[in-house]
Amino acid sequence: MASAISNTVLDIDRIRAEFPILHRETQLGAPIIYLDSAATSQKPRQVIDIMSRYYEQQNANIHRGIHRLAEEATQSFEEARNKIAHFINANSSKEVIFTRNTTEAINLVAYSWGRANLQAGDMLLLTEMEHHSNLVPWQMLAAEKDLHLEFIPVTDEGLLDWTAFEHFLLREPRLVAFTHMSNVLGTINPAAEMVSLAHQAGALVLIDGAQSAPHLKVDMQTIGADFYAFSAHKMCGPTGIGVLYGREKLLASMPPFLGGGDMIRRVHLRSFTPNELPHKFEAGTPAIAEAIGLGAAVDFLESVGLEKIHQHEQLIVSYALERLEEIPGVVVYGPRPEKKGGVVSFKLDGVHPHDVAQLLDTVGIAVRAGHHCAMPLHERFHLPATTRASFYLYTMEQEIDRLVEGLYKVKEIFS
Ligand code: PMP
């Protein structure tokens, strides 16, 4: 049974009933407390069911066949793309490229746009709070093309240093690439404002939306980014599929990323003509069932409402901060709740984060410990690692209470 805070915005029991795994009992005979949604979210029944139904009733390769199954599979796959275009308010489904995940989407831009458009000495502006997925592809490109990388610093509060950002823009970066929401600090960056300033400075903008697309209403027309990347598995969808949104004109001007079937219109022994968008960037047989699963995830999220999901998470994160800060020796990183999403990273004095996570696991609580693929950000805060609890639409305040009880137990063991 859910209580006051949890039911303020969402009918939490009804939502939880949709997620079979949330009813799986641990060795302790109680349902698992899943506080690791920033790593991957759980999946509602309708996503699981639609993927089974696809394999039971429609399975065929797409775009090539002229038989009935192939036509139906193609239609379901392209319908999923249309749903995603609508979900993010893209101008057209040609702007929605299916990739494997956020990481591949960013690599696609670095490889295709970056190699074709950047020259030695060009500057790329990133931030200190990036996930490795939005650092390493640019480091690889910088090494190949002799580019300059600069980084907007993170303040002690866990926000981007705005003065430094404006200062770097005066040096005319070719691209500004930043995360919409930090997977460690939870910071929600003011994306539209940053895009507008970067555009005024003549830069293109890529946004890593891995943590924002699942939790906030992201509207491509309002945000105005040139590229926006996200992963299905963090937004109630399956693994193995992600999205690169790109402005149509820009995508049309870019060379293909991977070569092979589906991304071509014609092939001769020594040459090829690429296919039109979005297929130009989708070489080989795609993750068909997964795309359809993502379509169902988007339907599910829209039926609940992204604004409500965000409001719910704000209540949960405020409550979590309040409760965690009661515990002597806990230090939480990141801004106040108004500026952050449902992610809380913290340290507990005298206990290694891996021990915290392991002990919490023994009482049926799943959290994450480590650098969360953001080593430079941890270096910035002089931390080898943190423990991270992350929330979603199915998180209840009682689960936060259990986390707090668990942390008191950990303290007892290590005292
Ligand atoms: N960026 C951010 C902010 C993330 O949190 C993650 C996932 N932890 C990624 C990128 C990478 O996502 P994926 O592993 O699905 O490519």
Give the model confidence (pLDDT) of 90-106 as tens digits.
Answer: 999 999 999 999 999 99
Token readout for 208 is 């890593």
The full length of the chain comes to: 415
Distant-in-sequence, close-in-space partners of 156: CB < 8 Å, separation ≥ 6:
none
Q: What is the spatial distance between Cα 168 and Cα 112, in angstroms, rounded to a whole number?
A: 25
Write out the catalytic residue numbers. 373
**pLDDT tens for residues 235-262?**
999 999 999 999 999 999 999 999 999 9
Q: How far is the CA of 106 from the centre of ligand 1 (A)?
A: 10
Q: How far is the CA of 369 from the centre of ligand 1 (A)?
A: 16
**pLDDT tens for residues 115-154?**
999 999 999 999 999 999 999 999 999 999 999 999 999 9
**pLDDT tens for residues 198-222?**
999 999 999 999 999 999 999 999 9
Ligand 1 pocket, residue 101 CB under 6 Å:
yes
Q: How far is the CA of 133 from the centre of ligand 1 (A)?
A: 7
- Give me the percent of the chain exceeding a pLDDT of 90: 96
- Contact at 8 Å (CB) between 208 and 178? yes
Q: How far is the CA of 230 from the centre of ligand 1 (A)?
A: 8
Closest CA to 197 of 164, 220, 229, 219: 164
What mean pLDDT do residues 347-352 have?
A: 96
**DSSP character string of 292-350:** HHHHHHHHHHHHH-HHHHHHHHHHHHHHHHHHHHTSTTEEEES--GGGB-SEEEEEETT
- Contact at 8 Å (CB) between 108 and 257? yes
> Identity (one letter) of the amino acid at 5?
I
Distant-in-sequence, close-in-space partners of 170: CB < 8 Å, separation ≥ 6:
201
Ligand 1 pocket, residue 377 CB under 6 Å:
no
Ranked by mean pLDDT, which of 3-12, 27-36, 316-325 comes out on top? 316-325
pLDDT at 28: 85
Atom of ligand 1 nearest to the CA of 234: 15
Nearest CA to ligand 1 atom 8: 39
Q: How far from 138 is each of 78, 121, 368, CA to CA, in Å?
A: 31, 14, 27
User: How many other C-beta atoms can be found within 10 angstroms of the C-beta atom of residue 250?
Assistant: 15
Q: If residue 361 lies in a helix (H) or strand (E), which one and from where to where?
A: helix 353-362
Q: What is the spatial distance between Cα 129 and Cα 208, in angstroms, rounded to a whole number?
A: 11
Nearest CA to ligand 1 atom 6: 210
Ligand 1 pocket, residue 5 CB under 6 Å:
no
Atom of ligand 1 nearest to the CA of 239: 15
Whether 363 has a pLDDT exceeding 80, the answer reads yes
* Sheet containing 242-246, strands listed edge to edge, beginning at the edge strand earlier in sequence: 96-99, 242-246, 227-231, 204-208, 175-179, 123-127, 148-152
Which residue segments constitute the domains of the chain, with CATH numbers given?
6-37+305-414 (3.90.1150.10), 48-303 (3.40.640.10)
Q: What is the spatial distance between Cα 5 and Cα 373, in angstroms, rounded to a whole number?
A: 32
pLDDT at 3: 65
What is the overall mean pLDDT for the chain? 97
Q: In degrees rounded to 5, what are phi and psi of residue 360?
A: -65, -35
Ligand 1 pocket, residue 210 CB under 6 Å:
yes
Q: How far is the CA of 210 from the centre of ligand 1 (A)?
A: 5
Of the chain, the end-to-end C-alpha distance in Å amounts to 34
Ligand 1 pocket, residue 390 CB under 6 Å:
no
**DSSP character string of 138-156:** HHHHHHHHT-EEEEE-B-T
Atom of ligand 1 nearest to the CA of 39: 8
Atom of ligand 1 nearest to the CA of 231: 15
Specify the DSSP class assigned to residue 286. -
Q: How far is the CA of 318 from the centre of ligand 1 (A)?
A: 24
Whether 415 has a pLDDT exceeding 90, the answer reads no
Q: How far is the CA of 380 from the centre of ligand 1 (A)?
A: 20
Whether 171 has a pLDDT exceeding 60, the answer reads yes
Could you tell which of 132, 183, 392 is best to mutate to test the pocket of ligand 1, judged by most ligand atoms within 8 Å of the CB? 183
- Contact at 8 Å (CB) between 214 and 223? no
**Global confidence as pTM:** 0.98
Nearest CA to ligand 1 atom 12: 102
What mean pLDDT do residues 285-289 have?
A: 98
Closest CA to 104 of 263, 293, 368, 282: 282
Whether 387 has a pLDDT exceeding 60, the answer reads yes
pLDDT at 64: 79
**3-state SS of 11-80?**
CHHHHHHCCHHHHCECCCCCECEECECCCCCCCCHHHHHHHHHHHHHHCCCCCCCCCHHHHHHHHHHHHH
pLDDT at 2: 52
Residue 266: strand pairing partners: 273
Whether 6 has a pLDDT exceeding 90, the answer reads no
Could you tell which of 126, 131, 345 is best to mutate to test the pocket of ligand 1, judged by most ligand atoms within 8 Å of the CB? 131
Ligand 1 pocket, residue 99 CB under 6 Å:
no
pLDDT band, very low/low/confident/very high, at 27 (cuts 50, 70, 90): confident
